Chain A
Amino acid sequence: MSETALRAALAKSGAAGIGQISIATREDGSFALTHHEDAARDDLALYANADDAAQLSRFDDAGNYRPLKTAPSLRHGWRLTVPDHRSLDFALDLFYPGRLAAFLAWDRGRLVTTPLRETLQRQTGMYRPAAKISDPEADGLVGSFCRSDGGCLRTILWKRDRDGSPASTLLPPEKFDPAHDQTGLGRPTVPLLCQEACNLLVAEARKIVKCGASADSDTSSEAGEPRDGTHQ
């Protein structure tokens, strides 16, 4: 990813960060990243290697693993300083994997979005049943799983199907608006775009089809896939 593209994106939007991360530019050209709620704190644990972002983004404040990096559960208490744009890109790609690439593709009018039905129908193995989710069930699932408040901070760009039905009627219009700050703080923002349903949502759709909408734990989603992969 080019330095100028990210710089341009931040400058164009007037944003001082991405998602829950604040980015402060220092006089020497380096960047200091913190949780946006920590920007004014001076008692933070200090990190100086862009690769540290992998560890910083892995767990939430309570120590729980964060399988979805765009969930609004970024942990607090750290400041990561990186020397240049290149390392800033690396760090951000660990905090929010693939999101800068998606933003740049979108900004250039090249981002291809995939309707949910297409993502589901493409699945094989243990995820194949996910395609059987009904429209109302999908509406409810996306409405709760992807919501910015407690679910995921991405801006949804995909539709439910080819005819353009919305991803969910239960989400507010701003969930689909890249200009809207999904953290709810109303700041200028570089959006975290969702161009295609993630694997976690597909796994949830499968659970609903297999176990009914109330199923909330299904360990077989980890170990079971290859077992069903007999069609290979």
Chain B
Amino acid sequence: MISSSTSALLIVGHGSTVNPDSSAPTLQHGAEIRRRGIFSEVACCFWKEEPSLRDALLYFADETIRDVYVVPNFISEGYFTRTVVPRELELTGPETHRKSGQAWKYCKPAGSHERMSELLLQRAREVAPGIPEAETTLLVVGHGTSLNDNSAAAAKHQAGIIRGLNRYAAVLNVYMEEPPLVADWLKLTRTRNVVVVPFFVSDGLHSDEDIPALLGIRSQERNGQDGNPHQIQGRSLFYSTAIGTDPKFAEVIIEQAASFETQGQEVESAS
């Protein structure tokens, strides 16, 4: 149980030095969670933006805060959650005790929460309202091999769960840089309707430009979800913004903190 008077939340995002949209969802989720008053303090920090993870060590100076829940706002476990975050935040294991007696509790990344498949499903329905699921293919798009963060496995896992529900005609995990390739969607799918949800924590070049280009959406029509459905070679294509921009992601972050006691995050040595 999280005690609202003695607990704080730190959400760790990647951020970007070139993409202004990268940190926006993390900040929005932080603001939403702050509004709910579940934690006495809520802060965000970023690898590539300010406040940095090092700066976050200076937060939560209030002595009434006994527990700091650290939730990485990442799609999956990997290099950042196992190496960068523990190193920069000086975490020695799932629970790190500071000199002040404060305990920093390292939680699983938001994207690995079991409710993620539910969120993907809801998002798919929202971008294609009234479209019969049994006549639709759902594509969950991950990055693929070049990112050493298990995001491909995470997308595959989610697609598997949703496929098991037997609601959509087909559910496929596809990738930008490894097969099955998102660029091959016309060959990979048979239904007239295709819904595409990028399994990313924020919008940016990948979800705004790269994936639409790979799908064949014309550049002047790459306008978030506004241009839906796109008519491409006789198909109706419904494109979503990144799943991490969904306001319900805030709930997942809260739940990852709440479930710390049962499944804290492992860390690896930084060397």
Q: Which residues of A come within 8 Å of B, CB atoms?
A: 1-2, 51, 54, 58-59, 65, 67-70, 93-94, 96-98, 101-102, 104-105, 111, 114, 122, 124-125, 195-196, 198-200, 203, 219, 221-223, 225-227, 229-232
Contacts and interface: CB of A to CB of B under 8 A. Distances in A.
B255 interface: no
B149 interface: yes
B79 A226 contact: yes
B18 A222 contact: yes
Contacts of B215: none
A221 B48 CA distance: 10
A227 B52 contact: no
A229 B79 contact: yes
A219 to B, nearest CB: 8
Interface in B22-67: 24, 27, 31, 43, 45, 47-52, 54-56, 58-59, 61-62
Interface stretch (B81-89, B108-116, B125-133, B244-252): B81-89
A101 B59 contact: yes
A230 B148 contact: yes
B87 A69 contact: no
Given A65-B20, A232-B79, 17 more contacts: A54-B24, A54-B27, A65-B18, A93-B51, A104-B58, A104-B61, A105-B61, A111-B58, A124-B84, A124-B270, A125-B79, A125-B84, A200-B17, A222-B16, A227-B146, A231-B83, A232-B78
A78 B80 CA distance: 37
Contacts of B271: 124, 231
Contacts of A195: 54, 58
* Interface core residue of B54, B84, B146, B271 (most chain A CB under 10 Å): B54
A227 B78 CA distance: 12
A175 to B, nearest CB: 19
A200 B50 CA distance: 10
Contacts of A111: 58
* Interface core residue of B47, B51, B146 (most chain A CB under 10 Å): B51
Nearest to B56: A98
Contacts of B80: 226
DSSP majority for the B interface? Answer: loop
Interface string B219-242: 000000000000000000000000
B147 interface: yes
29 contacts: A1-B61, A51-B27, A65-B20, A67-B17, A67-B48, A67-B49, A70-B50, A93-B51, A94-B27, A98-B51, A98-B56, A98-B59, A101-B55, A101-B59, A105-B58, A105-B61, A114-B54, A124-B87, A125-B83, A125-B84, A196-B52, A199-B47, A221-B17, A222-B16, A222-B48, A226-B148, A229-B148, A232-B82, A232-B148
Interface in B4-25: 16-20, 24
B22 to A, nearest CB: 9
A98 B56 CA distance: 7
Interface residues of B, number: 37
B149 to A, nearest CB: 6
A227 B31 CA distance: 32
A144 to B, nearest CB: 17
* Interface core residue of B50, B55, B84, B148 (most chain A CB under 10 Å): B50
B58 A226 contact: no
Nearest to B14: A225
Contacts of A101: 51, 55, 58-59, 61
B268 interface: yes
Contact of A69 (B20, B50, B59, B270): B50
Q: Which 6 A-B pairs have the closest CB atoms?
A: A98-B55, A98-B51, A97-B51, A229-B79, A97-B50, A101-B58
A65 B59 CA distance: 25
A222 B54 CA distance: 19
